[in-house]
Amino acid sequence: MFLLVFLRRILHGDARSRRRDSQNNLFFVLLCVISLRISVKQQSMKIFITGISTDVGKTITSAIVVEALEADYWKPIQAGDLDNSDSHKIKSKIFNQKSKIFENAYKLNTPASPHLAAEIDGVTIDLKQITEPKTDNHLVIEGAGGIFVPLNENDTIIDLIQPDYKVIVVSRHYLGSINHTLLTIEVIRNRGFEVAGIIFSGSENKSTESLILNKTGIRCIGRIDEEPYFDQNVIKEYADLFRDNLLNL
């Protein structure tokens, strides 16, 4: 709209007025460019959160990202703990009332690898039956376990990632975690996806974190300390810390 008004002024104004208004016109163009960049930045994001293994902090990370962006949340596959699922945990740990928690595509009864949990339940996980929920809001998608956790005989968690997803890798320090982190990032990149950032969880290990960041060139969105508990207040504190980095993925 602003650009149309500007073009009319250029086309219909006389030479004298164009010279007189040249500085104002330049300022006007700059405002239009800034407005356009802000508009692009405010477009909704789809953020896929994966980890280097099981129990590395994906759900806590998801809660923080959901709270920071007031995003919607979706975990396509839940295996086990259906009465206290990750979706339930997210809902209980966020303050904001805007976020919507979408239903799982598959709810499996056994806490096991999805392919095995599905087999026990007498079903087969079919990627064609996993439909991304529609929303105009930011959407946080949480994987299950690591990137190569099997869903069936052919597909793994990485096959849930779509080209428009921004991937965040959660890394937790333990013996072998450097190898697992580098392998996870390498696999994601080899599939043609970009890793938007990494979040470290657990006790800090500066040497490990520095090595991973230097070898991969990936930026650190933040780190989650070994807290005694994670309630709404703690989640909100981390959300406030991470928000700017998340908005600039």
Burial of residue 82 (number of CB atoms within 10 Å: 0-12, 13-18, 19+)? middle
75 carries an active-site annotation: yes
Rounded CA-CA distance 222/239 in Å is: 10
Whether 146 and 52 have beta carbons less than 8 Å apart is answered as yes
Q: What angle do CA 218, 181, 65 make, to 5 degrees?
A: 60
Q: What angle do CA 86, 87, 89 make, to 5 degrees?
A: 60
- Measure the CA dihedral 53/55/60/62, to 10°: 30
Q: Rounded to whole angstroms, what are the CA distances from 75 to 45, 100, 226, 229, 233?
A: 16, 12, 24, 22, 23
Nearest residue to 181 via CA among 193, 169, 190: 169
Give residue 221's Cα distance to chain centre.
Answer: 11
Q: Which of 41, 46, 58, 75 is catalytic?
A: 75
**199 strand-pairing partners:** 170, 222
Give the residue numbers marked as catalytic.
75
